């Protein structure tokens, strides 16, 4: 799933916006969304445990930084955009649109969930 998300973000930055470093944006966006998902799970555990674990903000930054490093290694050394483009470059338009909707849904849900949980827990 994250490989496809990386591919779509990379393709937008490369072809639509003609950016010179689309991989940087794609890795960062995928990593931030993964971090949001992990933090949402953590906040949900806090909510159900009715505990405030008082994690310092520096650890959130370390989490995102670690994800960026891991994703950079994954998408630049293990798998690259060329391989992903061979796999998904010739998608049928109908499938590409439906997968694009799912990508937008995933991004929107990840952002909404982390903001909702952070706001809700700040009031507890």
48 or 35: which leads in pLDDT: 35
Q: Which residues contact 38 (CB under 8 A, 6 or more apart)?
A: 63
Report the pLDDT value the prediction gives residue 74, as an integer from 0 to 100.
Answer: 97
Q: Are 43 and 121 within 8 A, CB to CB?
A: yes
Domain spans of the chain, in order of start: 2-122
Six-digit token string for 52: 């405030």
Q: How confident is the model at residue 123 (pLDDT cuts 50, 70, 90)?
A: low
Report the pLDDT value the prediction gives residue 124, as an integer from 0 to 100.
Answer: 59
pLDDT greater than 70 at residue 11: yes
Radius of gyration of the chain (CA): 17
pLDDT greater than 70 at residue 121: yes
Report the pLDDT value the prediction gives residue 113, as an integer from 0 to 100.
Answer: 95
Mean pLDDT across the stretch 96-117? 96
CA distance 44 to 28: 24
Report the pLDDT value the prediction gives residue 54, as an integer from 0 to 100.
Answer: 74
Report the pLDDT value the prediction gives residue 48, as an integer from 0 to 100.
Answer: 87
> Residues 40-98: pLDDT tens digits?
998 898 888 887 777 778 999 999 999 999 999 999 999 999 999 999 999 999 999 99
Distances (CA, A) of 27 to 12, 18, 100, 123: 13, 17, 18, 33
């Amino acid at each position: 799933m994250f490989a496809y998300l990386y591919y779509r973000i990379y393709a937008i930055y490369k072809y639509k916006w003609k950016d010179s470093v689309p991989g940087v944006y794609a890795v960062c966006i995928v990593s931030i969304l993964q971090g949001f998902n992990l933090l949402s799970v953590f906040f949900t555990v806090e909510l159900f445990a009715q505990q405030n674990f008082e994690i310092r903000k520096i650890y959130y930054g370390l989490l995102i930084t670690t994800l960026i490093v891991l994703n950079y290694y994954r998408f630049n050394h293990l798998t690259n955009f060329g391989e992903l483009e061979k796999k998904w470059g010739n998608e049928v338009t109908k499938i590409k649109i439906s997968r694009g909707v799912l990508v937008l849904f995933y991004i929107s849900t990840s952002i909404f969930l982390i903001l909702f949980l952070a706001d809700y827990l700040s009031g507890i």
